[in-house]
Chain A
Amino acid sequence: MKTFLTFLSLLLFTGMGFAFTTPNNSLTEDFIEGNPEVKSVNALTFGPEGILFIGDSRQAAIIAVDTKDNKSMQAPESVDLKNVDELIAAMVGTTADDIVIQDMAVNPISKKIYLAVHRQDGLPMLVTTNGTKLEHFPLDKVSYSKSVLKKAVGEDAKDRRGRSLREWAISDLAFHGGQVMVSGLANEEFSSAFHAIPFPFKEKQELSTLEIYHAAHGRYETYAPIKTFMPYEMAGKSYLVASYTCTPLVIFPMDELKPGKHTKGKTVAELGNRNTPLDIVSFKKDGKPYLLLANSSRALMRIDPSEIASFDDYLTEPVEGNSTTAGVDFVALPYVNVLQMDKISDDQIVMLQRTADGSLNLHMQSAGRL
């Protein structure tokens, strides 16, 4: 997941640390002890101090949980857990085909891996790694704070049987610059919602809901939902690097994202058809930053962000001939069926990958191999 801590944001957090030196003013000051009644765990991302943000689509809420997992550790020498779905299924009394892993996040402090899991009957659970073992992380008695998104997108009209079938599925989550950023897909209208929620959560808070358009080859523009995104610093400026459900990679300068504004993204690449992006992370190879993009039907892609920053061509010309990709170049890496990724250190990535024999494995790759 996108626990993206640039040097700048680290400085920011450090700054916050200096500003709030008394424990009473900590980020968890307003947290309450108890059961946040988590109904689904669709997206995970870590903030500072071991605070885990859970995107709960079913109750349209972001739940901040103080994991108390804040003992600083080095990244392990290796991560190699085979048949993760079978092990989790055994814990929740079912078979591997009854398990869906929704998201994965690495705690940047303890380097523990957190997996968001659903049984097919919808029951959610969190699982963490402990060395070579998996452990259940119970959510019924935790220190937490909750922010509900539903009201921000309008009270839902009910059908004549008093049911509301409309829902917002949280498609991605990131913490950046003191805000929790959330992208959502509606299950009725074809639209995109993007929220930036200041953290710590306040009882009454201003939400930014953005309408995001992207242009294709200078001819058409479409109002489209974002599948996965990542805040990113390029040339001293903050951007949102986003990938749509239909694979274009688009960037938005953060300072242009304003509530209610018709913000048009700069399409920097089309990464192939019949494909849906699954996840984006950043890492460093030989000290140089790169982006990694996991896809539903294509191999893992490595992108050089300096090319994005200097890419001025808005894909204004229709693509000629039979080419299937366009825009900023990418390197296809020999990893297919990577379902989830996160950074465990600057130059190491943990990935959840379905191998050719059908097993679902959790393993770590260092930058040299990416």
Chain B
Amino acid sequence: MNWMKIFFCVGCLCLLSLSIAAQELSWQLVDHEGSKVLKLEGMNQSAGTEANTLQVFVGERSAWPGANMPDILGTYTMEEEAILFQPAFPFRESLTYTAFWDGKHAYIFTIPVTTPPTELTKIYPSGGELPANLLKVYLHFSAPMGEGRAYDNLQLVSAAGDTIYQPFVPLQPELWSEDRTRLTLWLDPGRVKRGLLSHETHGVVLQEGGDYTLTIDKHWTDAAGQPLGKNYRKDFRVVGPDYRKPEPARWTYELPGAGTTEPVMIDFGESMDQALASRSLSLQVASGEPVDGAISVEAEESRWYFYPRDPWPEGDFTIVVDSNLEDLAGNNLNRPFDREIVEGEKIQVAQDFYTINFKIKASK
């Protein structure tokens, strides 16, 4: 009885493969809602009711890789005499895949590259002289980057040719902006902070007076899996550490005359953190309403400009500064990055905002 069953099944399979062979299988990559979908036609309709007989694997394969190799997750849709396979995660550009119908009849396909290479557009701080206790570096890109491999693609080399060991904290998750076009890097805070062993025994990452080059590797891949294609570098010289918090009272200003659209300018007297300087200051009229205009941070992030949309009226204005604003060494308006503890000293009460009041007068 059992033998008969087996004979019958084997017979069915033979018939099935004959019918497949008789009909030419047609494979096609088609666009579906912005992504590539694999379409198989020409298989025998009755044989194709088992959607799991279509399997797609990563890589170029001459034979079915066996049950231990997972096939790509996705959904199968029957469409008249075709099966559509939509991967749960889109096929990756430039990768090659192999699809199998019933464990044989392989179809090898490569996903074409359609996106242009991503470029590194900006590195902040933009200056050529940076403090020995520099805390952060920002890398800006023209398109979303891949995540998880940043630290393998960055190198900091001294003028003597020494590669600095792990200059950046290898944080996982990496500190990307939501659209993954900007990465924040921290220089090892353990070595920046005074008092900690890392600092005391290994010293700071950056030696005062030294020249360094930050290199961004051309093999770093973007979100589409494509490499940058060229190396980028930033050269800088290291100057003395900065342990002082920024003080708005020491900033200088340039004020325009009423009736003009000239900018209001703040000179911080030092380079500030670009991201924070771009968003921590806002300009208001006396009643608290914000003034419409554009902010620009220039001169190696040491100057803040506010360009009004409309000509300035005469009157009183206020610039509100968020106390989170930091300089290049992570000192903010409320506290220096690290603070020497003095017995009996009272901790200064932190305030959320600092305000700067000024008057726009009639042009002379």
Contacts and interface: CB of A to CB of B under 8 A. Distances in A.
Contacts of B149: 97, 100, 120
A248 interface: yes
B291 to A, nearest CB: 14
Given A121-B224, A163-B179, A273-B190, A222 B338 contact: yes
Interface string B143-175: 010111100000000000000011001111111
B73 A92 contact: yes
Contacts of A205: none
A120 B221 contact: yes
B40 interface: no
A215 B341 contact: yes
A125 to B, nearest CB: 7
Given A120-B146, A222-B338, A136 B88 contact: yes
Given A93-B72, A245-B186, 8 more contacts: A93-B92, A160-B294, A165-B275, A189-B324, A215-B341, A220-B194, A274-B202, A297-B166
Interface stretch (A69-77, A173-181, A300-308, A320-328): A320-328
A1 to B, nearest CB: 14
A224 interface: yes
The A interface, classified by DSSP as helix, strand, loop or mixed, is loop
A191 B332 CA distance: 11
B341 A189 contact: no
Contacts of B224: 121
Contact of B70 (A91, A189, A247, A248): A91
A324 B197 contact: yes
A164 interface: yes
Nearest to B184: A187
B347 interface: yes
Interface residues of B, number: 78
Contacts of B71: 90-91
Contact of A246 (B181, B189, B225, B280): B189
Nearest to B329: A190
30 contacts: A90-B58, A90-B72, A91-B71, A93-B56, A93-B89, A98-B92, A122-B223, A157-B279, A165-B179, A166-B275, A167-B178, A185-B171, A185-B175, A188-B184, A188-B279, A216-B196, A217-B196, A219-B194, A219-B340, A220-B195, A222-B338, A247-B190, A273-B191, A273-B201, A274-B166, A274-B188, A276-B170, A318-B195, A319-B201, A323-B201
B337 A190 contact: yes
A90 B88 CA distance: 12
Contact of A188 (B90, B275, B340): B275
Given A120-B148, A189-B326, A216 B95 contact: no
Contacts of B330: 190
A91 B89 CA distance: 9
User: What range describes how many residues of A lie at the interface?
Assistant: 35 or more
Most buried by A among B172, B276, B295: B172
Q: Which 5 pairs of residues, A with B, have the shortest CB-CB distance?
A: A246-B190, A100-B148, A120-B146, A216-B195, A273-B198
B196 A58 contact: no
B148 to A, nearest CB: 3
A87 interface: yes
Interface string A75-96: 0000000000001011111110
B225 A91 contact: no
Interface string A315-346: 00011001111100000000000000000000
A118 interface: yes
Given A100-B148, A219-B194, A297-B166, A90 B70 contact: yes
A120 B58 CA distance: 16
Given A169-B171, A190-B136, A219 B73 contact: no
B197 A91 contact: no
A190 B189 contact: yes
A232 B271 CA distance: 43
Contacts of B280: 157
A160 B294 CA distance: 7
A93 B87 contact: yes
A206 B335 CA distance: 27
A246 B188 contact: yes
Contacts of A234: none
B244 interface: no
B301 interface: no
B176 interface: yes
A297 B151 CA distance: 14
Given A118-B148, A120-B148, A190 B176 contact: no
B180 interface: yes
A326 B177 CA distance: 36
